[in-house]
């Protein structure tokens, strides 16, 4: 099959490959970010995402390999996330420890534990979750040029991630529970006064967020990479945290930003083969090593922007983010 040239130098297979890689790389980001959006909306910052993803990746890999069941593998990943979430919530909600320190501790612990026990598993690989067509409409729609196959022929967890976006959006903005979550994140004291169970909600969102990070880790290894290596998340958890801020704590924005971030990631690998020339744009800004800086720089810019317009509620920054709540007796 001859390759179709779309615009100067861009072939159809290059674009299809780029889109495919983008969609693949976005799934763990979407899963982890959705969980973190919900948690941060209630004022719970969890910097442990990176560590949870490492832990869940390794343990879901171990379980899936020993039992031969991918389902049990995914379940393990989620359970690992739940346990880590309970720890974070216990330390920060019940003991009122600092959320930042607790989160960093979880990331350090995850990196340490997986580096400590993971070596024996590094040489093995697993037959991961297979790609399928999206139910009913997937098979015909995957014939759409450029994007069809990337969107409609993928792993079930990738479909799940995208389907969860409207679910989380609806849950946050159209249900009572969601309104309570947002109220707790804005002003826990006022929420408590009108009878919102602040502590229970903060526990709940933390566990939910960590469970999603666990699912992201399990997906990463069981549905994408299929092999364990030390530190395999290589900063994805931190990108997910950056992504939550850049998307300004909104599920649909998170989906979009996840695509943008992972297209950077996909580009990073692909521009290596391209002749981009020297100079500022080709030589520096599109340098593969340089592209990975953008998510972090974007985060700082967005943080500055939302803080500058602090009173503009539409920007969505939870007012009580990362501050513990102590009930006045």
Name the residues that contact other proteins, by CB under 8 A. Answer: 47, 91, 95-98, 100-102, 104-106, 108-109, 111-113, 115-117, 119, 235, 238, 242, 245, 287, 289-290, 292-293, 296-297, 299-300, 303-304, 307-308, 310, 321-322
Least distance to other proteins, CB of residue 149, Å? 31
User: Residue 205, by phi and psi: left (phi above 0), alpha (psi -120 to 50) or beta?
Assistant: alpha
* HSE toward the beta carbon, residue 56, CA cutoff 13 A: 36
Min dist. Cβ of residue 199 to other proteins (A) = 12
Nearer to other proteins, 165 or 246 (CB): 246
Nearer to other proteins by C-beta: 73 or 110? 110
Q: How far is the CB of 296 from other proteins (least distance, A)?
A: 4
- Name residues whose C-beta falls within 8 Å of residue 36's C-beta, 6 or more positions apart in sequence: 46, 49, 209, 212, 213, 240, 241, 244
**Which among 85, 76, 83, 70 is positioned nearest to 35, based on CA atoms?**
85
Tell me whether residue 45 or residue 70 sits nearer to other proteins (CB atom). 45
- Which is nearer to other proteins, 220 or 321 (by Cβ)? 321
Alpha helices, DSSP H only, in 247-284? 251-270, 279
Q: How far is the CB of 108 from other proteins (least distance, A)?
A: 4
Nearer to other proteins, 16 or 247 (CB): 247
CB of 75 to other proteins, least distance (A): 23
Q: Which is nearer to other proteins, 151 or 244 (CB)?
A: 244
Tokens encoding 69: 């069941």
Shortest CB 170 distance to other proteins, Å: 28
Taking a C-beta distance cutoff of 8 angstroms, is the pair 217, 54 a contact? yes
Tell me if 181 sits within 8 A of 37, measured CB to CB: no
**Which among 274, 278, 282 has a CA at the least distance from the CA of 8?**
274
* Cα(257)–Cα(240) distance, integer angstroms: 10
Residue with smaller CB distance to other proteins, 4 or 300: 300
Residue 131: CB minimum distance to other proteins, A: 31
Residue 198 CB neighbours (<10 A): 23
3-state secondary structure of 29: helix
Write out the E strands in the chain. 5-7, 10-11, 132-133, 153-154
């Amino acid at each position: 099959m001859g390759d179709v040239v779309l615009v100067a130098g861009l072939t159809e297979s290059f674009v299809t490959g780029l889109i495919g890689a983008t969609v693949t790389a976005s799934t763990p980001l979407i899963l982890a970010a959705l969980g973190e959006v919900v948690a941060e909306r209630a004022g719970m910052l969890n910097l442990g995402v990176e560590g949870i993803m490492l832990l869940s990746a390794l343990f879901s890999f171990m379980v899936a390999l020993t039992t031969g069941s991918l389902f049990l593998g995914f379940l393990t990943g989620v359970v690992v996330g739940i346990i880590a979430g309970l720890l974070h919530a216990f330390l920060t909600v019940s003991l009122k420890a600092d959320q930042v320190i607790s989160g960093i501790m979880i990331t350090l612990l995850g990196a340490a534990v997986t580096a400590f026990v993971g070596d024996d598993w590094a040489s093995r690989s697993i037959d991961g979750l297979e790609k399928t067509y999206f139910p009913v409409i997937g098979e015909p729609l995957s014939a759409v040029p450029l994007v069809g196959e990337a969107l409609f022929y993928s792993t079930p967890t990738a479909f799940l991630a995208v389907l969860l976006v409207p679910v989380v959006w609806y849950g946050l903005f159209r249900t009572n529970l969601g309104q309570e979550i947002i109220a707790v994140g804005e002003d826990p004291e006022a929420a408590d006064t009108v009878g919102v169970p602040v502590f229970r909600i903060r526990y709940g969102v933390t566990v939910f967020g960590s469970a999603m990070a666990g699912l992201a880790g399990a997906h990463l290894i069981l549905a994408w990479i299929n092999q364990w290596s030390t530190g395999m998340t290589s900063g994805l958890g931190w990108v997910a945290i950056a992504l939550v801020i850049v998307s300004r704590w909104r599920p649909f924005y998170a989906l979009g930003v996840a695509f943008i971030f992972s297209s950077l990631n996909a580009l990073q690998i692909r521009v290596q083969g391209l002749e981009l020339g020297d100079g500022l744009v080709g030589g520096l800004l599109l340098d593969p090593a340089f592209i990975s800086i953008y998510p972090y720089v974007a985060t700082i810019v967005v943080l500055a922007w939302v803080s500058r317009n602090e009173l503009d509620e539409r920007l969505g920054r939870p007012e009580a983010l990362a501050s513990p709540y102590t009930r006045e007796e």
